[in-house]
C-alpha cells in the first residue's frame, strides 16, 4: 500500500514538473517574441526621420528649380515675349502685319521695349486673328524715302521711326526741332501724347498718308565731343558737330558757332573714331547703346532737343481694318504709352551711371541752360518762318508756349 502511494506521489510530482517547465518555456517564448518585435520596430523608427529628411530635400530642390525658372535673364525673357508676338497663325482670315524698324531688336533701349509691349498687347488681344512679322536693322528700308514709300504702297504695315526724320516730307514735327524750345523729357512726353501731338499727327497724315499710333520718348539729346566739356555756349564755337539731317535742327544749332555736318547714322561711329567730326548729339541711351562714348572724351548734358519716336501705320491700311482690330490697336497703344514711360524713367539714371564709368560727364545747371536758351532764341524767328509761322504758333499754343 505504501508502495502504491509512493508511486502516485512520484507521478504527481512528475506532472507538476512538466507543467512548470511548460510555463517557463512559454515565458521565454513570449520574451523572445517581444524582443524580436522591438528589434524589428527599431529600424522603422530610424527610417521615419530619414524619410522626412529626404522629403524636405526634394521639396528644397523643387523650390530651387522654381526660383531658377522665375529668375530668367532679360535676354531669355525678351526671347519668350518675341516668340509669343511672332507666333504664326493658321487662321485663313488673319491680318498680316509686317513691322520694321532700324534697330537690331526690340530689347535694347526703353522706347524699343515700349514698342515691343505694343505688339505684345496687340497679339494678346487678337490672338490668331493676326500674324506679326518683325523686320529689324532696316531690312525693309533704311532711308526715309524707302520707309515712307513702303507704308504708302503697303509693302509693310507698321514701323517705328524718329519723328525728326520726317522733315524732308513734312514739317509736321518741326516745331519740336527748334533748339531749347522744349527742355524736359517729361514735358515732351505729355505734349506729344496730348493736344500738340494730335495737331502734329494730323499734319503728318495730311502730308504723307501716315498715321501715328502712339509716341514715346527716346530722350533729351545731349552732346559728346573729343575736344572739351561743353559748359557755356562759347565752348561750342569751332566744333565740328554731327546732327540729324534736319534743316531746322542744323540751322538752330549753327547759331552757337559750331560747324554742323550731316553724316548717316550708320557711319557715325567710324566718323567719330577717325576724327571726321569732333562730336555728335543723341539721347544718352543711344550714346550708350551704340558705344559712342568709347570714341569720345566728354559728355555734356545740354538738353537742347528732345528725341521722340512714333509707331505709325498707313491711314489707308488702318481704314480697311475691322472695328475689333482698331479697338485692339487703341488698347495696345494705351498700354505701350504707360509701359514706355515707366521703362524710360527707370533707365535714365542707370544709363548715365554706366556712361560715367566710360566718359567724363558734366551736367548743366538751370542757370547754365538759360544761357544756352538765350543764344538759341536768336534763331527762333527765322526757324519759325522756315517752318511756317502760323503752324508753329498753333503748335506752340497747344504746348502752352510762345516765342
Look at the chain and report how many structural domains it folds into: 1
How confident is the model over 215-254, as pLDDT tens digits?
Answer: 999 999 999 999 999 999 999 999 999 998 889 999 999 9
Residue 391 belongs to domain spanning: 74-399
Contact 232, 292 (CB under 8 A): no
Specify the pLDDT at position 38: 41
Contact 120, 84 (CB under 8 A): yes
Residue 279 belongs to a domain with what CATH number? 3.40.190.170
pLDDT-above-70 percentage for the chain: 83
Instruction: Supply φ then ψ for residue 244, to 5 degrees.
Output: -65, 155
Asked whether residue 44 carries a pLDDT value surpassing 60, the answer given is no
Specify the pLDDT at position 17: 36
How confident is the model over 181-202, as pLDDT tens digits?
Answer: 998 999 999 999 999 999 999 9
Specify the pLDDT at position 67: 54
Element (H, E) at 142: none
Specify the pLDDT at position 356: 98
Which grid cell sits at 100? 520694321
Distance CA(344)–CA(102), nearest Å, equals 19
43: confidence class by pLDDT, cuts 50, 70, 90: very low
Instruction: Average the pLDDT over 27-40 and give the result.
Output: 41
Domain annotation covers residue 66: no
Contact 136, 143 (CB under 8 A): no
Instruction: Average the pLDDT over 100-123 and give the result.
Output: 95
Q: Is 320 exposed, middle or buried (0-12, 13-18, 19+ CB in 10 A)?
A: exposed
Distance CA(255)–CA(277), nearest Å, equals 18
105: confidence class by pLDDT, cuts 50, 70, 90: very high
Instruction: Report which of 307, 329, 393 is spatially closest to residue 126, judged by C-alpha positions.
Output: 329
Q: Is 44 exposed, middle or buried (0-12, 13-18, 19+ CB in 10 A)?
A: exposed
Asked whether residue 68 carries a pLDDT value surpassing 60, the answer given is no
**Which of the 8 DSSP states describes residue 94?**
P
Domain annotation covers residue 4: no
Instruction: Average the pLDDT over 113-132 and give the result.
Output: 98
**Which of the 8 DSSP states describes residue 229?**
-
Domain annotation covers residue 339: yes
Contact 160, 340 (CB under 8 A): no
How confident is the model over 337-356, as pLDDT tens digits?
Answer: 999 999 999 999 999 999 99
Largest separation between any pair of C-alpha atoms in the chain? 160
Mean pLDDT taken over the chain:
87
Domain annotation covers residue 54: no
Instruction: Report which of 356, 379, 329, 219 is spatially closest to residue 285, judged by C-alpha positions.
Output: 219
Collect all residues with Cβ–Cβ distance below 8 Å to 178 and sequence separation of at least 6.
248, 252, 376, 379, 380, 383, 384, 387, 392
Domain annotation covers residue 7: no
Asked whether residue 310 carries a pLDDT value surpassing 70, the answer given is yes
Asked whether residue 308 carries a pLDDT value surpassing 70, the answer given is yes
Domain annotation covers residue 27: no
Q: How far apart are the first and last CA of the chain?
A: 155
Specify the pLDDT at position 42: 47
Instruction: Average the pLDDT over 323-333 and give the result.
Output: 98
Asked whether residue 382 carries a pLDDT value surpassing 70, the answer given is yes
Domain annotation covers residue 16: no
Q: Which residue has the higher pLDDT, 5 or 315?
A: 315
Distance CA(32)–CA(53), nearest Å, equals 33
Contact 272, 296 (CB under 8 A): yes
Q: CA 265, 271, 272, 276: dihedral to nearest 10 degrees? A: -130
pLDDT-above-90 percentage for the chain: 76
Asked whether residue 90 carries a pLDDT value surpassing 90, the answer given is yes
Instruction: Average the pLDDT over 374-388 and give the result.
Output: 96
Domain annotation covers residue 326: yes
401: confidence class by pLDDT, cuts 50, 70, 90: confident
5: confidence class by pLDDT, cuts 50, 70, 90: very low
Asked whether residue 24 carries a pLDDT value surpassing 60, the answer given is no
Amino acid at each position: 500500500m505504501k508502495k502504491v502511494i509512493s508511486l502516485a506521489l512520484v507521478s504527481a510530482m512528475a506532472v507538476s514538473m512538466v507543467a512548470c517547465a511548460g510555463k517557463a518555456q512559454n515565458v521565454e517564448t513570449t520574451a523572445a517574441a517581444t524582443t524580436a518585435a522591438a528589434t524589428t520596430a527599431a529600424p522603422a523608427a530610424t527610417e521615419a526621420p530619414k524619410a522626412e529628411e529626404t522629403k524636405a530635400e526634394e521639396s528644397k530642390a523643387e523650390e530651387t528649380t522654381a526660383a531658377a525658372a522665375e529668375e530668367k535673364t532679360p535676354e531669355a525673357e525678351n526671347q519668350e515675349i518675341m516668340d509669343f508676338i511672332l507666333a504664326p497663325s493658321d487662321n485663313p482670315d488673319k491680318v498680316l502685319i509686317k513691322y520694321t524698324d532700324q534697330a537690331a531688336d526690340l530689347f535694347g533701349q526703353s522706347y524699343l521695349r515700349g514698342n515691343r509691349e505694343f505688339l505684345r498687347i496687340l497679339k494678346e488681344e487678337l490672338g490668331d486673328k493676326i500674324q506679326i512679322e518683325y523686320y529689324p536693322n532696316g531690312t525693309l528700308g533704311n532711308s526715309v524715302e524707302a520707309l515712307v514709300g513702303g507704308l504708302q504702297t503697303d509693302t509693310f504695315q507698321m514701323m517705328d521711326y524718329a519723328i525728326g526724320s520726317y522733315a524732308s516730307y513734312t514739317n509736321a514735327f518741326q516745331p519740336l526741332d527748334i533748339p531749347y524750345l522744349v527742355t524736359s523729357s517729361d514735358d515732351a512726353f505729355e505734349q506729344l501724347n496730348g493736344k500738340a501731338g494730335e495737331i502734329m499727327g494730323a499734319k503728318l497724315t495730311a502730308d504723307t498718308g501716315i498715321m501715328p499710333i502712339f509716341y514715346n520718348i527716346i530722350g533729351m539729346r545731349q552732346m559728346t565731343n573729343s575736344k572739351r566739356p561743353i559748359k557755356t555756349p562759347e565752348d561750342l564755337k569751332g566744333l565740328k558737330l554731327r546732327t540729324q539731317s534736319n534743316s531746322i535742327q542744323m540751322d538752330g544749332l549753327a547759331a552757337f558757332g559750331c560747324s554742323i555736318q550731316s553724316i548717316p547714322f550708320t557711319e557715325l561711329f567710324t566718323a567719330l573714331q577717325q576724327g571726321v567730326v569732333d562730336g555728335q548729339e543723341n539721347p544718352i541711351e543711344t550714346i550708350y547703346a551704340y558705344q559712342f562714348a568709347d570714341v569720345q572724351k566728354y559728355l555734356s548734358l545740354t538738353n537742347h532737343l528732345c528725341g521722340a519716336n512714333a509707331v505709325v501705320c498707313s491711314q489707308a491700311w488702318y481704314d480697311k481694318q475691322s472695328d475689333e482690330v482698331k479697338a485692339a490697336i487703341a488698347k495696345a497703344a494705351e498700354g505701350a504709352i504707360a509701359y514706355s514711360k515707366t521703362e524710360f524713367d527707370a533707365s535714365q539714371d542707370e544709363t548715365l551711371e554706366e556712361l560715367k564709368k566710360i566718359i567724363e560727364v558734366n551736367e548743366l545747371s538751370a542757370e547754365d541752360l538759360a544761357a544756352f536758351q538765350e543764344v538759341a532764341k536768336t534763331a527762333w524767328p527765322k526757324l519759325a518762318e522756315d517752318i511756317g509761322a502760323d503752324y508753329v504758333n498753333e503748335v506752340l499754343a497747344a504746348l502752352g508756349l510762345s516765342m
